[in-house]
Structure 1
Amino acid sequence: MANILVVDDELGIRDLLSEILNDEGHSVEMAANATQARSARNNGTFDLVLLDIWMPDTDGVSLLKEWAASGQLTMPVIMMSGHATIDTAVEATRIGALSFLEKPITMQKLLKAVEQGLAKNANAPAAKPALAVGLPPANAVQVNDGVHSGSELHLRPVSGLRSAADNMPSANQDFDLDRPLREARDGFEKAYFEFHLAREGGSMTRVAEKTGLERTHLYRKLRQLGVDLGRSRRG
């Protein structure tokens, strides 16, 4: 887990970046302007900083210069802007910025830039171990040959495999097919998303990638189904 500072005068952008990075397991501190960013940097150390260029009090490039001159530019800094010119980006890089992200920032570009930034940091957390090749996922499920007994459809784990977490929703689910279609479908979808949220440790980013849904659509779907996101994260 990395300690990341997000500096941006737009509340919506701060919240969005914080949410994505928190989902990835990082600790995030936010600053709305250069004054707050200075205070945060003076009072703590960060593995990475995401720094907006255009801010109301002091622009990001000037703040970057301050940190470089005072010896506080000891962490990778990624500049962000929706209006910066190429010259501005080049200047920031010359001062010491690692890279530049143009707004609107896509989730894929953000995560890639953060990954590259942390890799440059000598204090970055060790990479997660690679999964063993050739083994099916610990919670893989299969339908019993597409056959259901009575009014219930049974899903069971692949033979010989067990859940990696005792508190994960069971892959053995019974669904009452005598209910109206909408109710039966909602019940299945709720169990499906709860299962994947538990398996991914509550990471909305990974669940979105796994299920093929956009994050905004996923959030809307989970709220509609009444899925307890807090419980998924605690698990």
Structure 2
Amino acid sequence: MANILVVDDEMGIRELLSEILGDEGHAVTLAENAQQARQARATGAPDLVLLDIWMPDTDGVTLLKEWQRDGLLTMPVIMMSGHATIDTAVEATRIGALNFLEKPIAMQKLLKAVQAGLARGQEVVRAPVLAPRPAALPPAEEAAPPSFGAQPLPPQGAHGIAVARGSGEGHMFSLSFDLPLREARDAFERMYFEHHLGREGGSMTRVAEKTGLERTHLYRKLKQLGVEPGKLAKKNQQA
């Protein structure tokens, strides 16, 4: 069972989604505008948000930007609209929305999107993250560029673990669970994509195949994370 927040100014839509999701065993919280959605988010992050784009007080894209700006976009968000343009859908995806559903929403399409969103949320929660670099290092180490494969591992403790990157590669990196979830997710995703870009020589086509992402989504994700494929590929060739 998941906690799902449904934000829509149409009572009929809210009641229909609540009934469908409730029948699937989910706990549903309803909000009819952005202010109620803010209040619901302030009580804790839901497992998933279904967010209408066109609302009378604040539109869904603006609310999405607020959550992204304030570090509150820690849950998957699926946008909904019966009148949105392609540009609006692309903008929402760029900000951080996971998916976009066009009204009227078919039940099977809704359930499939919700299932994918919840699965993505669980992946983020389980994802390990990079440990902060030690504050004090000898001059020689301080001058050297950071490298996941070259730095020695710190002792394993209660708040971090050591794992291998890739099967049979022997590359190791330290992980910590002390960062805020959003920073943890970004750190892990940055490491994940840099790893695959390095293995594939910067080929976006092969990385898209390896990661299961469409090229357009992959480009947006790399830009959001600040990963530059061209520079990374050049760096690996020089190494």
TM-score by length of 2: 0.51
Aligned length in residues? 126
What is the CA–CA distance in structure 1 between the aligned matches of 2:13 and 2:109, rounded to whole Å?
Answer: 15
Matched residue, 2:46: 46
Query: Which amino acid counterpart does residue 79 of structure 1 have in structure 2?
Result: M
Matched residue, 1:107: 107
Percent of aligned pairs sharing the same letter = 78
Query: How far off its partner does 1:45 sit?
Result: 1.9
Q: Which runs of 5+ in 2 are unaligned?
A: 126-239
Moved over 6 A (4+): none
Q: Which runs of 5+ in 1 are unaligned?
A: 126-235
What is the CA–CA distance in structure 1 between the aligned matches of 2:124 and 2:65, rounded to whole Å?
Answer: 23
Aligned positions of 1:21-36 closer than 5 A: 21-36=21-36
Matched, 1:97 2:70: no
Query: How far off its partner does 1:2 sit?
Result: 0.3
SS at match of 1:75: coil
RMSD of Structure 2 on Structure 1 (CA):
1.7
Residues 76 and 98 of structure 1 are in contact (CA less than 8 Å); yes or no, is this contact kept in structure 2?
A: yes
Aligned positions of 1:45-194 closer than 5 A: 45-122=45-122
SS at match of 2:122: coil
Q: Which has more helix, going by share of residues?
A: 2
Query: Which amino acid counterpart does residue 67 of structure 1 have in structure 2?
Result: W
Larger radius of gyration: 1
Aligned positions of 1:188-203 closer than 5 A: none
Relative to structure 1, the CA distance from residue 123 to residue 45 in structure 2 (aligned partners, 3 Å threshold; closer, same or farther) is farther
Query: Which amino acid counterpart does residue 58 of structure 1 have in structure 2?
Result: T
Query: How far off its partner does 1:122 sit?
Result: 2.2
TM-score by length of 1: 0.52
Query: How far off its partner does 1:123 sit?
Result: 7.2
Query: How far off its partner does 1:87 sit?
Result: 0.1
Relative to structure 1, the CA distance from residue 123 to residue 15 in structure 2 (aligned partners, 3 Å threshold; closer, same or farther) is farther
Residues 47 and 123 of structure 1 are in contact (CA less than 8 Å); yes or no, is this contact kept in structure 2?
A: no
What is the CA–CA distance in structure 2 between the aligned matches of 1:4 and 1:22, rounded to whole Å?
Answer: 10
Matched, 1:2 2:2: yes
What is the CA–CA distance in structure 2 between the aligned matches of 1:122 and 1:8, rounded to whole Å?
Answer: 25
SS at match of 2:93: helix
